[in-house]
Amino acid sequence: MISNQKWMLHVALSLAVAVSAAEVRAQKLETPGSPAAEAAPATSSSGPTGFGDGGQFVVSAERLFGYTYSRRTNNANSNTFTLLAQPFGTGTYAYGSPRIGFDGFVTKSLSLGGSLSFFRTSAGNNSTTGFEVAPRIGYGTMVGPWLGVWPRIGVTYVYASTGGPSLKYLALTVEGLLAIVVSPHLVITFGPTVDLGLTGSAGNGNIKNTDVGVYFGLAIPF
């Protein structure tokens, strides 16, 4: 049971529902033709109004579920379907753990940020504890009324302790995300990811791990 990641999803979904409910209530209170709407003066906002606008801050729950093909230098390859990091397939993966992301659009479309994750898994008497850190740069822009694109590139570092030899992986990460804008404060992300193994080790041995996958996530812009 990966309680940390299930708690992370619960928090993300609760926040998304609360934000969407607040928007619906605000729209009902400002119906066309109502005295409040007619009396409200026309003002222009200097803040972000759409996905990818400068000054926007985005909190994301990433890689919640999807598919991963993992290739290692020792030829231990695998195909894995994941749901909150729970694998359903022929093996394990290095970079597919659910994570919390934080990104800020420093100018229109240009984002800087990263993601992090803490995980602990157990199977019988064996357990694995570790963390993942992934700084990145991205370019997010709308290409339609409700559809945006958000390609990102960065690096991902993973450390895991299994009670024996520790595992360390470093990869160049490229993501080609689509952003489906459900509301101004709720976005569904989906797209291919590549974590190209640069270095890695398992105890005293060297090993590289490359993951290619497709993942879904949620993002909340502010």
Domain boundaries, the chain: 3-42+51-221
| Of residues 85, 99, 77, the one with CA closest to residue 12 | 99
Report, at the CATH architecture level, how domain 3-42+51-221 is classified: Beta Barrel (2.40)
Distance (Å, whole) CA 215 – CA 194: 11
pLDDT (tens digit per residue) in 136-181: 999 999 999 999 999 999 999 999 887 777 889 999 999 999 999 9
Is the pLDDT score of 103 beyond 70? yes
CA-closest candidate to residue 185, choices 54, 6, 24, 7: 24
Residue with more model confidence, 166 or 76? 166
Percent of the chain scoring above 90 in pLDDT? 50
CA distance 125 to 88: 21
**Which helix H or strand E contains 199, and what residues bound it?**
strand 186-202
Question: What Å distances lie between residue 221 and 8, 13, 49, 140, CA to CA?
Answer: 17, 14, 10, 12
C-beta of residue 98 within 8 angstroms of C-beta of residue 5 = yes
